Amino acid sequence: MSVAPGDRFPDVTLKVLDAAGAWADLATGTLFAGRRGVLFGLPGAFTPTCTTHHLPGYARRAADFRARGIDLLACLSVNDAFVMRAWADSLAIGDAVRMLPDGNGDLTRALGLVTDASAYGMGPRAQRFALIVNDRTIEGVHVEAPGEYRVSDADYVLRHLG
């Protein structure tokens, strides 16, 4: 069962790379403490829709989200920290979007948003989704139907911010 509006944002530990490239732990419960943000999840770094539309759409609209009171845009994928950094670098994302590597799928499972992409040789992955989170409480949940890219799109989420 996936998270719903009113649920508390899960607190799991992700392995990330700091600015110097050293391993660091990130407690996800702290991400949205005292701030409002959007966490969007996608099936995989460097995959076609994710690379052409999903991540770049949020990066392009970052200023629009800030103007609407969003303090943090974060991208979650069941990929390791090295892949997420290389992907962000390849798209020149900079600091517009915080990249969250969920290499073991811990946060994706805690959110209840796992999909099985084994048919494509990818194993368990994140469903395509967007969550609006306010001070660790989930306000909005937009989860795509399999194979779709509509309700987690940056423009759609901007139109539906409360």
For 11-25, what is each residue's pLDDT tens digit?
A: 999 999 998 989 999
Does some domain include residue 144?
A: yes
Does some domain include residue 6?
A: no
pLDDT of residue 118: 81
Cα Rg of the chain, angstroms? 14
Does some domain include residue 4?
A: no
The CATH number of the domain holding residue 155 is 3.40.30.10
Does some domain include residue 126?
A: yes
Q: Per the structure block, which two tokens stand in for 40?
A: 């969007």
Does some domain include residue 99?
A: yes
For 122-160, what is each residue's pLDDT tens digit?
A: 778 899 999 999 999 999 999 999 889 999 999 999 999
Q: Is the pLDDT of residue 7 over 80?
A: yes
Q: Which residues are catalytic?
A: 50
Does some domain include residue 76?
A: yes
- Whole domain around residue 44: which residue ranges? 13-159
Q: Per the structure block, which two tokens stand in for 114?
A: 């796992």
Does some domain include residue 5?
A: no
Instruction: Please count the structural domains in the chain.
Output: 1
The model's pTM is 0.95
Does some domain include residue 8?
A: no
Q: Which residue has the tokens 């999840």?
A: 41
